Amino acid sequence: MKYFLLFAGFFVVNPLSGQTLEGKIIAVDVAQSTAQFQTNKEIKTIQLLPGDAAIPWSQKIVKCTLVQNQGAIRADLIFPADPEELRQVAEVTDALRRDTVERGRIVSRGANDLMPPMALWNQNGKLLLKKDFLGHPVAINFIFTRCRVALMCPASTQCMKRLAEELDKSPQLANVKLLSVSFDPQNDSPGILNTYAAGYGINSARHNFLTGDANQIKDLMRQFGILTTQSDGTIIHNAALVIVSPEGRIIHRREGAQFDPVDVANYFLKLNQVPPTK
């Protein structure tokens, strides 16, 4: 199926590399991975990365960076920019910042603590809030797509994929959700996450990859006990799998990037069999 993308918005003078675009997406040509945008009453063609071409951006306000690509212009790092969504994101980011400050030295949330609030976009450009996962058991980890350490993010993502496959074997676990939060939002846009998820054969109906406001993600990492540092152009970090109950409480944590998918699936089975504590 083909779509045609028209950016009806406003640009900064001439479309040169590194320039920022903000406008409304009308349609996109998926087969060609190209888009049409309008500025100063002119319609011009730009390229899209495959991951962005696959996202249902139609009728959404977005912002992106324009770059030169072999004589053509390409839109990179496309992020939603709908004013109402940005308001929700800012509200959650501010609330989370205040909570992090109030927690003082003991920031990380532990067993039986509530999952912190969040408002992040997934690999399909959809804004997801904490409330969207209440009523679902959830497994959460943190990754970044540029990670080249085989035993870290790539291994963690493989474990999450295998966990989804194990969950699929049990109809009673159909409501379990998987979340992978990128701690590199400057580079991991929804389109990049879309390509990353597709590369691993991820079932997007169950497994959401999330990105968004860098300050919000920084506080989420602190509250989930994820630490990072920059070294030689990459991100050095610890890793953990955090399990949250349908009531939104942290109930289990497994340190390390890798875990046994069968064991975690069995944990969810036991959780599903135990009625919630009143």
Domain 6-80 identical in fold to domain 84-273: no
Give the residue-averaged pLDDT of 263-268: 98
The whole model's pTM is what?
0.90
The residues, any chain, with a CB within 8 Å of residue 8's CB and separated by 6 or more, are: 23, 24, 26, 37, 38
- Domain 84-273, what fold? Glutaredoxin (3.40.30)
Among 43-47, 72-76, 166-170, whose mean pLDDT is lowest?
A: 43-47
Residue 39 binned pLDDT confidence (cut-offs 50, 70, 90)? low
pLDDT confidence of residue 41: 63
Among 253, 263, 259, 186, residue whose Cα is nearest residue 224? 253
Q: Which CATH class is domain 6-80?
A: mainly beta
Q: Domain limits of the chain?
A: 6-80, 84-273
Q: 110-165, pLDDT tens digit by residue?
A: 999 999 999 999 999 999 999 999 999 999 999 999 999 999 999 999 999 999 99
CA–CA distance, 134 with 38 (Å, rounded to integer): 41
Looking from the CA of 260 toward its CB, the CA atoms found within 13 Å total 4
* Cβ neighbours of 18 (radius 10 Å): 10
Beta strands in 49-190 (DSSP E): 61-69, 72-80, 119-121, 127-129, 138-143, 177-182
